[in-house]
Amino acid sequence: MKPLNIGLIGYGFMGRTHTNGYKRANDFFPELEYRPVLKAVCGRNAQKVQEFADQWQYESIETDWKALIKRDDIDAIDICTPNNSHAEIAIAAAEAGKMILCEKPLALNPEEGERMCAAVEKAGVANTVWYNYRRVPAVTMAKQLIDEGVLGKIYHYRANFLQDWTISEDLPQGGAALWRLDAAAAGSGVTGDLLAHCIDTALWLNGSITDVSAMTETFIKERVHQDTGEKQAVTIDDACSFMCHFDNGSLGLFESTRYARGHKALYTLEINGADASIRWDLHDLHRLEFFSNADEGRLRGWRSIHVSDHSGDQPYMDKWWVPGLQIGYEHTFVHQVADFLKSLQEGKPCNPTFRDALETQEVCEAVLSSAKERAWKNV
């Protein structure tokens, strides 16, 4: 077993999901030749980072990411910091010859993303971005069906990502837990945080997007900044919807918001082809709903496939329990770690690479600029 020494930077929500992935992958994917070792975790607050290290069993801590990157005993840097530090850390890590696993979105904008791609490609280091929903078994199975041509010519792609956690006017912006509301740290609002997931999946399942027409809204115009206590203009998008053309001739409709009362993290997608349609919902993540026009007339209708079988080719599920039993959100990260380790073993890239994630960034940029200028924009 070859050790892969991980240096994690940032230890919030995503630090936990990734760490859980590192801890579980080899238990359930025994064929892997590499084993992640939780070598070090880095954060600015020594006491808090030590608490995290103790809870999740990291061997050591750092309070300066530059010191972590310099360490000879670190093979891979995992970036779980707010979006405005991804580029600086990734470029320095690539120059130090480290592999990089970067939390989504890749960067604040395509210009930063391009520099990150150039750095990892020049250094020849393995890289991936944590667009985890690709690794929900039902979503991976949708990819298989589309690639096999089961849907026929695709006409429509629809996706939503709905939340409701920012409706209150009293919610401050900025600061440790609320950086997603601060444009300086996040780059954008729901576009980079939520639509980026929908766009990543769409590019993977349905190919490139050529042009977009978008609208955004900021419903609450001012919030107190958590760090300064001052009231400031809110400059992120609270909601964003866009329509687009795909390169394959199909039409896309996307919506995301943090103002859909009752929805906490509802990601849904539907794809309509000439021969069949599929539909998926994160709240029922094992189900792939499937309609085939080839079914015999009397029995034709939407099938609700519980993707938990071990026979046939239902992805990932044979690694877990007995047929019919579920896995959940956290397993998508275990799958991503397993796929990353497998790609190292095989000497292949692990999707989505930085270059793949740059395409998502370019669509996000076109969406934001279309909304600003109230005009169609090419990607």
Contacting positions for ligand SOE (CB under 6 A): 163, 180, 193, 197, 265
Q: What share of the chain is helix, strand, coil (3-state, %, to 5)?
A: 40, 25, 35
Minimum CB–partner distance for residue 14 and ligand SOE (Å): 8
Instruction: Give the whole-angstrom CA distance, residue 17 versus residue 190.
Output: 20
Instruction: Give the whole-angstrom CA distance, residue 24 versus residue 331.
Output: 9
Q: Which is nearer to ligand SOE, 75 or 255 (CB)?
A: 255
Q: Which is nearer to ligand SOE, 119 or 186 (CB)?
A: 186
Q: Which is nearer to ligand SOE, 4 or 162 (CB)?
A: 162
Q: What is the CA 328 to chain-centroid distance, rounded?
A: 15
Q: Which is nearer to ligand SOE, 86 or 98 (CB)?
A: 86
Upper half-sphere CA count for residue 135 (Cβ side, 13 Å): 23
Q: Which is nearer to ligand SOE, 105 or 273 (CB)?
A: 105
Q: Which of 13, 14, 103, 19 is nearest to 59 (CA)?
A: 19
Minimum CB–partner distance for residue 180 and ligand SOE (Å): 6
Burial of 148: CB neighbours in 10 Å, binned 0-12, 13-18, 19+: exposed
Minimum CB–partner distance for residue 376 and ligand SOE (Å): 27
Minimum CB–partner distance for residue 42 and ligand SOE (Å): 20
Q: How many Å is the Cα radius of gyration of the chain?
A: 21
Q: Which of 90, 79, 93 is nearest to 115 (CA)?
A: 90
Minimum CB–partner distance for residue 379 and ligand SOE (Å): 21
Minimum CB–partner distance for residue 236 and ligand SOE (Å): 11
Q: Which is nearer to ligand SOE, 257 or 272 (CB)?
A: 257
